[in-house]
Chain A
Amino acid sequence: MFLGQALGLSAVLFSLGVAGVLLRRNAIVLFMCIELMLNAVNLSFVALAQLHGASGYVMVFFVMTVAAAEAAVGLAIIIGIFRHKQSVDLGNINLLRG
């Protein structure tokens, strides 16, 4: 079944994203992994839209919009951090420690 394969791929991509977020410490890579997770979810939306109608497609547009906005804000923050710390290694960034 195409649906099964698509959902399987989505799960694999999502898990890769999660693993990346958990394991990597470079902020840019982390960011890319988040994008990977978002798009894994998009893939499952598109696949499930085959069964449940067009609302899945609409959702994908929303996710893409949010992802774009998030990328803009997130990259700006990373640039700001880099200017401040000369590094994008998350291990060095603990300003919010209690």
Chain B
Amino acid sequence: MADWIWLAVALPLVGFLVNGGLSLRRPQAKNLVSAVGVGVLIGSFVVSAAAFLELWAHPPHQPIIVNLWRWLPVGTLQIDMGFQVDQLSGVMLLIVTGVGSLIHGFSIGYMKEYPGYARYFAYLNLFVAFMLVLVLGSSFPVMFIGWEGVGLFSYLLIGFWFSDKVNADAGKKAFIVNRIGDFGFLIAMFLLWQSLGTLSFTGMVAKAPAVLPAGGALVTAITLFLFLGCTGKSAQIPLYTWLPDAMAGPTPVSALIHAATMVTAGVYLVIRTNVLFALAPFSSTVVAGIGALTALFAATIGLRQYDIKKVLAYSTVSQLGYMFLGVGTGAYASGLFHLATHAFFKALLFLGAGSVIHGMHHAYHSTHSHADAQDMRNMGGLKQYMPLTFWLMLIATLAIAGIPPFSGFFSKDEILAAAFARGQTIPIYLLFYAMGVVAALLTAFYMARLMTMTFLGSNRTGEREREHLHEAPWSMTGPLVVLGILSAIGGLLNLPPFLGGGAALEHWIEPVTAPAAAFFRLEMPHGNTELFLVGAAVLIGVVGLVAGWKATLGRPIVPAAEAREDTGLARLLYRKYYVDEIYDALIIRPLVWLSRFVLWKGVDQGVVDGAAVNGTAKLSRGLGWLGSRLQTGQVGMYVVLFLVGALWILHSVVR
């Protein structure tokens, strides 16, 4: 079945072609669009599941490489359009196509009333195709196709409602910020090619330990450039600013692209190149440090946001920070584990938020109110109107806060335990551990605040709007239920030994992480230490949840239209530490100034237009004027010149 893995990519591609054609010719054929859009994803999931089951039955020690055609035969650079099926890409395949199918299904209900329905599904289908190329690519360049492709569709879907300038700007921001990261990815590829002479992952695993000296400058540079790519795609400091703005897109897009799949590409890249990161302990420390810092930093911003999607966006940035803390510590399996559980519970949270926004939007739409349907200050008491959404989002909240037995508890706990363990040999990891713990506390706090503001207390939607609030249709709640089950039991994937589990995921991807384990072995804590860490994590989660709940319920909340502006620290957090403004002042304005006054007015208008283009024209005109002085129009003059010329030629010939 692994030989047929290209089908998993081809099916969404076909879906894109069909839906793209329909969006141009028959935009009203919504039933057909839904059937094709969701059908190809389910087909892709079936192919992926079949391939995974085959892997499960006979786990290979070497990755299965499926070469489709030779893509770049240039001298010694021979790159195949190849897919790599192994334990890691198998897990990613299931997450992408599985969660993708659910979100596609949810989109049917959510997007039905908006124009551009076929275009939406066309984009979403091709996004999945590129995402699968990303996780399946057997070499850096093939992966880069997917890497760039998902970036493009992220841009197109953030700016899906492009007639609103804010949305179009958010799309541009995402695209441009990601360019900076892609630059790092490219440089890393060039350096790898120069030092290893191969760009395939299998070649890298085979050659890197022999060719690249451990801890050397070269491998450190390569990994840092790779990580720059990760900070762009996975929204880490300093390139995280695009992700919160990306919430301008439709909510299912936020769930699929900006929570569950695309933004985890950076984590996947680090796991895929674990041998390089293991050879460069400094880079690994940077990865873990940036991850811990991002986890903490984004969590503090999440504390004071009012837009329900913004809270979830900062939460995503923060949770991605956890994943990088995990992979930077060398706990690659834990990073992947958190990636999987996060895909479940964050997709659930986003789709739940989508269900809430859907209901709020309907309520405001029916009374022609222009109030903000995403502002949590306009919600409150929604539990009464949307009980199913409430209970499902509560599962996700408990999962992300790290309350056992929900999935997030296991994965987050493993990452923190790994950081603690690494701290025994490299003390700075203890600092990262502490930052992770504080971030966990804040995570529980802002999630409790979100749930309380949205679902509990009294309703603030408005007298007339209230009666229009209702639960979403089954086509939307259905995927929520599946994700709820996954969020609840996802921890079984990698149940730790002290609970009687076999750490299945960790053993499963051992063939992939084995090269790294040779240099960067991590001894996980056992016995009492482990129990202590688990107890601390649970305690922190519970404290955060209760504190968030009490603090939010304890204070009166007024609807957004009547609310006064925050002051002091709250304002600083609401304004996101003014990071966007700082970037604007430090980078964007100087660049714009440089572009406008030096490059445009100076170089372009002065040198290129003035000296080069117009200068050439003026020079030829001047020479032409000089030449035209010879053209007197007097025949006699011409004859004289002619004669002189003839005599001169005669002279030189006869001589």
B contacts, CB < 8 Å to A: 627-636, 639-640, 643
The answer to whether A90 touches B636, judged by C-beta atoms less than 8 angstroms apart, is: yes
In the assembled complex, the Cα of A84 lies from the Cα of B205 at a distance in Å of: 90
The answer to whether A94 touches B636, judged by C-beta atoms less than 8 angstroms apart, is: no
Closest to B632 in A: A97
Contacts of A98 on B, CB cut-off 8 Å?
627-633
The answer to whether A90 touches B640, judged by C-beta atoms less than 8 angstroms apart, is: no
In the assembled complex, the Cα of A18 lies from the Cα of B630 at a distance in Å of: 21
The answer to whether A96 touches B640, judged by C-beta atoms less than 8 angstroms apart, is: no
Q: Which 3 pairs across A and B sit closest by C-beta, in order of nearness?
A: A98-B628, A94-B633, A97-B633
The answer to whether B643 touches A94, judged by C-beta atoms less than 8 angstroms apart, is: no
A contacts, CB < 8 Å to B: 18, 21-22, 25, 30, 90-91, 93-98
Q: Besides the contacts A94-B632, A98-B630, what 17 more A-B pairs have beta carbons closer than 8 Å?
A: A18-B643, A22-B640, A22-B643, A30-B635, A90-B634, A90-B635, A90-B636, A94-B634, A95-B633, A96-B631, A97-B631, A97-B633, A98-B627, A98-B628, A98-B629, A98-B631, A98-B632
**A–B pairs, 17, beta carbons within 8 Å:** A21-B636, A21-B639, A22-B636, A22-B639, A22-B640, A30-B635, A91-B634, A94-B634, A95-B633, A96-B631, A97-B631, A97-B632, A97-B633, A98-B627, A98-B630, A98-B631, A98-B633
In the assembled complex, the Cα of A22 lies from the Cα of B635 at a distance in Å of: 9
In the assembled complex, the Cα of A91 lies from the Cα of B636 at a distance in Å of: 9
* A-B CB pair tally, cutoff 8 Å: 32
Contacts of B631 on A, CB cut-off 8 Å?
96-98
Contacts of B630 on A, CB cut-off 8 Å?
98
Contacts of A93 on B, CB cut-off 8 Å?
633, 635
In the assembled complex, the Cα of A22 lies from the Cα of B633 at a distance in Å of: 15
In the assembled complex, the Cα of A95 lies from the Cα of B640 at a distance in Å of: 18
Query: In the complex, what's the smallest C-beta–C-beta distance from A19 to chain B, in angstroms?
Result: 11
Closest to A23 in B: B636
Query: In the complex, what's the smallest C-beta–C-beta distance from B283 to chain A, in angstroms?
Result: 71
Contacts of B628 on A, CB cut-off 8 Å?
98
Contacts of A90 on B, CB cut-off 8 Å?
634-636
In the assembled complex, the Cα of A98 lies from the Cα of B633 at a distance in Å of: 7
Known A18-B643, A98-B627; contact A25-B632, beta-carbon cutoff 8 A: no
Query: In the complex, what's the smallest C-beta–C-beta distance from B621 to chain A, in angstroms?
Result: 12
In the assembled complex, the Cα of A90 lies from the Cα of B635 at a distance in Å of: 7
The answer to whether B633 touches A25, judged by C-beta atoms less than 8 angstroms apart, is: no
In the assembled complex, the Cα of A21 lies from the Cα of B642 at a distance in Å of: 11
The answer to whether A25 touches B627, judged by C-beta atoms less than 8 angstroms apart, is: no
The answer to whether A96 touches B633, judged by C-beta atoms less than 8 angstroms apart, is: yes
In the assembled complex, the Cα of A59 lies from the Cα of B632 at a distance in Å of: 35
Query: In the complex, what's the smallest C-beta–C-beta distance from A35 to chain B, in angstroms?
Result: 15
Contacts of B643 on A, CB cut-off 8 Å?
18, 22
Contacts of A30 on B, CB cut-off 8 Å?
635
Closest to B625 in A: A98
Query: In the complex, what's the smallest C-beta–C-beta distance from B632 to chain A, in angstroms?
Result: 6
Closest to A97 in B: B633
Query: In the complex, what's the smallest C-beta–C-beta distance from A61 to chain B, in angstroms?
Result: 24
Contacts of A94 on B, CB cut-off 8 Å?
632-634
In the assembled complex, the Cα of A18 lies from the Cα of B636 at a distance in Å of: 11
Closest to B624 in A: A98
Closest to A24 in B: B636
Contacts of A21 on B, CB cut-off 8 Å?
636, 639
Query: In the complex, what's the smallest C-beta–C-beta distance from A15 to chain B, in angstroms?
Result: 11
Contacts of B634 on A, CB cut-off 8 Å?
90-91, 94, 97
In the assembled complex, the Cα of A91 lies from the Cα of B633 at a distance in Å of: 9
Contacts of A25 on B, CB cut-off 8 Å?
636
Query: In the complex, what's the smallest C-beta–C-beta distance from B357 to chain A, in angstroms?
Result: 75
Query: In the complex, what's the smallest C-beta–C-beta distance from B334 to chain A, in angstroms?
Result: 84
In the assembled complex, the Cα of A97 lies from the Cα of B634 at a distance in Å of: 8
In the assembled complex, the Cα of A25 lies from the Cα of B639 at a distance in Å of: 12
In the assembled complex, the Cα of A93 lies from the Cα of B632 at a distance in Å of: 10
In the assembled complex, the Cα of A95 lies from the Cα of B633 at a distance in Å of: 6
Most buried by B among A90, A91, A94, A98: A98
In the assembled complex, the Cα of A90 lies from the Cα of B639 at a distance in Å of: 12
Contacts of B627 on A, CB cut-off 8 Å?
98
In the assembled complex, the Cα of A25 lies from the Cα of B630 at a distance in Å of: 19
Contacts of A97 on B, CB cut-off 8 Å?
631-634
In the assembled complex, the Cα of A90 lies from the Cα of B636 at a distance in Å of: 8
Query: In the complex, what's the smallest C-beta–C-beta distance from B107 to chain A, in angstroms?
Result: 72
Query: In the complex, what's the smallest C-beta–C-beta distance from B642 to chain A, in angstroms?
Result: 9
In the assembled complex, the Cα of A21 lies from the Cα of B639 at a distance in Å of: 7
Most buried by A among B627, B636, B643: B636
In the assembled complex, the Cα of A90 lies from the Cα of B628 at a distance in Å of: 19
In the assembled complex, the Cα of A93 lies from the Cα of B643 at a distance in Å of: 20
